[in-house]
Amino acid sequence: MKKRFWLLLVLLVTVVVIVVTNVFLKQDRESVVYSIRVNNPVTTNKDTQTPTQKDTQTDDSSASLHPRISDSLQVSSDKLFAHILRLNFTRNTPPERSRTRAYITAELKRMGWKPKLEKFPDGVNIFAEKPGTDKNAKAILVGAHYDTVYFSPGADDNATGVAVTLEIARLFGSHPTSKTLQLAFFDKEEAGLLGSKAFVTNKKHLENLQGVIIMDMVGFACHTSGCQKYPRGIPVTPPSDKGDFLAVVGDTEHLPLLNAFQNSQMLPPISFNKATTGETGLPSVLTLPVPLKGLLTPDTLRSDHAPFWYQGVGAVLVTDTANLRTPHYHKPSDVPATIDRKFFAGAAQVVVNATRGLLENGS
């Protein structure tokens, strides 16, 4: 009897050990899989950027951590830089600017947009829009100037801004948003903001406009201490002693636009080099609220956001700080080879994240 009792006890213990071991092994395997899903983003087709069904399932864990960022809104570094290469020529004379417009409009049409050429006495702007799903919601405008000074090919100034605007056209072209998305490519910025000044004189452009994002030079970074300068009269607390951050300048009357960029640091499901873009995978963002519409700080009025300020429309300038950082500003040396591709892609993702937040959040 005792022998049978001990045999049954040994058998029971063995069964319990096997069951417990399987449970822990299953949990451990699930933990490993979860870790891989979070820390190793899925790879999508480079041409379409559309995830497969398997990729979509794998992305669920990442999406739950970052619900505002989806796989379909990842920027493509290759596509961004391809625009820089195709715009690698001076864009100052009428034939050069016409060639630039032909490229931009062809790209927009290829992505399903319907661009319009809007002539003004000194040049031609390009405008396109995608209506939002909410007919009562307002619009967000994203823009950049496409001209250059006569002796510079303007890779950073401002092919980078044009490239990011075209990337936004690609990403949001088939992505529904509650608000309307508008795109503008301004002519003759280098001649005194003539394109954006002409744009704001058309009151129809301003009727439904809630906010504007202007990009002017977003592709240059310097990585040595002291390489970044700062304008006089503007108290700033830089996030770094290097020129590796993105600056966003806005007026104090429309702080939600600046807040959108402060919230844009959520980690997108793509792999950036942390050594150059920080722990979040994106460059740090320095937001600068400007009082009195820049009256006391004229350095903050040097791009196409300024005409919107004086029409009472909220606008931000997104920039790598131009001549306060890059030695190639308005020079023949502003060529594609000087663009920091990791910083450029990170800056583009920041703008995409902020744009999405503004398009999908309430008024």
pLDDT score of 236: 80
Query: Which fold is adopted by the domain 74-360?
Result: Aminopeptidase (3.40.630)
- Distances, alpha carbon 274 to alpha carbons 46, 124, 251, 265, in Å: 22, 41, 31, 13
| Cβ(190)–Cβ(147) below 8 Å | yes
Starting at the earlier edge strand, list the strands of the sheet with 139-145: 116-120, 123-130, 180-186, 139-145, 209-215, 315-319, 245-251, 284-290
Q: Please give the Cα distance from 154 to 146 (Å, whole number).
A: 9
| Cis check: omega of the bond before 158, within 30 degrees of 0 | yes
Residues in the chain where the model's pLDDT stays below 70: 1-71, 266-280, 362-363
Q: Please give the Cα distance from 37 to 33 (Å, whole number).
A: 6
- Domain boundaries for CATH 3.40.630.10 within the chain: 74-360
User: Considering the entire predicted model, what is its pTM?
Assistant: 0.79
pLDDT tens track for 212-246: 999 999 999 999 999 999 887 777 888 888 999 99
Q: Residue 247 phi/psi, 5° resolution?
A: -100, 140
| Type of residue found at 247 | A
Exposure string of 208-224, with b = 16+ CB inside 10 Å and e = fewer, is ebbbbbbbbbbbbbbee
pLDDT score of 340: 98
pLDDT score of 112: 97
pLDDT tens track for 156-166: 999 999 999 99
Which residue reads 């920091």 in tokens? 340
